[in-house]
Structure 1
């Protein structure tokens, strides 16, 4: 596998609306840069408190770490449960949507793995895909069904493809939303009051209010665009993926498109020491882009 530790410029194609120019989301003179390539399919970027960025090579069953200090990439975990989405909590635990056995993992800083959930009411989960940890420690998890070649079954275990919620004490596990075709990416607001959920097969992204005990309420259409992974910045702008990265303000207005010269852009997050570097996973590669805004 070829990994390019020295970041270098690649073609940067970016269309920006007037609103984006006013917001100046991208740092002056910044270009999309290739951090590393040679993977099979990159996914799930997540930054820890120091700004180190972890991401998965899902088909190869690895989690990698980009180091914020030396800018190098190393293998963090070789057997990752075929992890897809990742997210850190405030205590430094890494959570993984590990779909090899349809599990939700908690990974300690010392790499100890705890399986938090693998079923709903006795039925195997369809295939945990992405997750977001709320400020209080509660976890929202999407559970679509994508047939995997490493499964021994081909039938969808649970008829509905849902969003689930795990309580902060990690004891309760409830259905949070089920009126979706195929939920995929999701991200919440830093205040823990709202959750965005992308219904990738219905080509829509929805916004919910987070009620008591993680109940999702007041479902409203955010934009008629689905997404794979997603993130949010300090201004409340939401970053959706698929054909590059498309940014919407909190009112659901498109304000920026970042073109990525890959067939598919899977996921995105903010990392680096000041959380002002946008990291993008796309096919066999990891890209970065310096921003004027930080992630949350």
Structure 2
């Protein structure tokens, strides 16, 4: 016979376990995840950003202050992909293996698949350098949408304002948006009919109808971010989009997830505040999340969207 004290202890343990399970279930975003353990893949960096994955299971990310772009191969091995990266921030991999990078020193470039060569896509607009390109997204036409806020930019701003641009495949560049406070992250919907822009200077995240490559209509509020402190007006940073059109926005509270209509689905928390996110892994069901000094992986139930890029 079990002693009463032991029975009481077992009952207490069961209640605590049930409470933890309920809390874990509450913390997950229904139908999305985490679908398993959030793991710290690598750490010890100064400030990580710009995760991107290729079709072979490799992932890339920037360590901005250290001016390096790193590569994590399909087996999880870490290496330096590019030194002296000109403070590279946002990254994406195009079909032929080049890594397109936002250099905060003022340019959008394409780095060769081995990281050795650098091809300038655009480094001026109307004869002036960009402020400090931050994030980008590739479209099926071979163009690049990119943001140009004021972080790490010269003062006064070379462009005079913070903007969003489109660099077409033929080299022509158009300024699309110039009325947002530090536009930061940028993504396209899977059908490329909607451009999302995530400003850092306001809690309202924006969406714009895409009328053609590099042509957008009037913007509207896509969603409003939950705030870490009452009364705050903190904005977003980077983001990822899955195959269903759900949008995962990094913020002070974690990775806030919204459906394609802007409805809040929940938040995935990380040990460090996330800066950006991308889908990777062979099945695109792993979120690669850069967060301050580290890079994390988070398994999810929905596959990510892979941007084509030519």
Query: Taking structure 1 as the reference length, what is the TM-score of the superposition?
Result: 0.87
User: Retained in 2: the 8 A contact 1:25–1:293?
Assistant: yes
Match of 1:57 in 2: 63
Match of 2:169 in 1: 168
User: Retained in 2: the 8 A contact 1:271–1:277?
Assistant: yes
Question: Where does structure 1 lack aligned partners over 5 or more consecutive residues?
Answer: 1-12
**1:167-224 CA distances to partner (integer Å, 9 max, x unpaired)?**
122x101101112111000111222221100111022211111123411213111012
Query: Taking structure 2 as the reference length, what is the TM-score of the superposition?
Result: 0.84
Match of 2:242 in 1: 233
Shift of 1:40: 0.5
Match of 2:260 in 1: 250
2:108 aligned with 1:104:
yes
Note the aligned Cα RMSD (angstroms).
1.9
Match of 1:6 in 2: none
| Equivalent residue in structure 1 for 2:92, among 87, 91, 99 | 87
Specify the SS of the correspondent of 1:250: coil
Match of 1:295 in 2: 304
Shift of 1:14: 6.2
2:288 aligned with 1:284:
no
- CA distance in 2: counterparts of 1:83 and 1:258, whole angstroms: 26
Match of 1:268 in 2: 277
2:77 aligned with 1:67:
no
| Equivalent residue in structure 2 for 1:121, among 120, 126, 134 | 126
- 4+ residue stretches of structure 1 with deviation over 6 A? none
- CA distance in 2: counterparts of 1:173 and 1:269, whole angstroms: 26
- CA distance in 1: counterparts of 2:99 and 2:57, whole angstroms: 13
- CA distance in 2: counterparts of 1:236 and 1:156, whole angstroms: 34
Question: Where does structure 2 lack aligned partners over 5 or more consecutive residues?
Answer: 1-22, 226-234, 306-310
User: Retained in 2: the 8 A contact 1:144–1:182?
Assistant: yes
User: Retained in 2: the 8 A contact 1:135–1:191?
Assistant: no
Aligned residues: 273
- CA distance in 1: counterparts of 2:190 and 2:24, whole angstroms: 27
- CA distance in 2: counterparts of 1:14 and 1:246, whole angstroms: 16
- CA distance in 2: counterparts of 1:186 and 1:51, whole angstroms: 23
Match of 2:45 in 1: 39
**1:259-284 CA distances to partner (integer Å, 9 max, x unpaired)?**
1122x310001111111101110010
- CA distance in 1: counterparts of 2:124 and 2:110, whole angstroms: 15
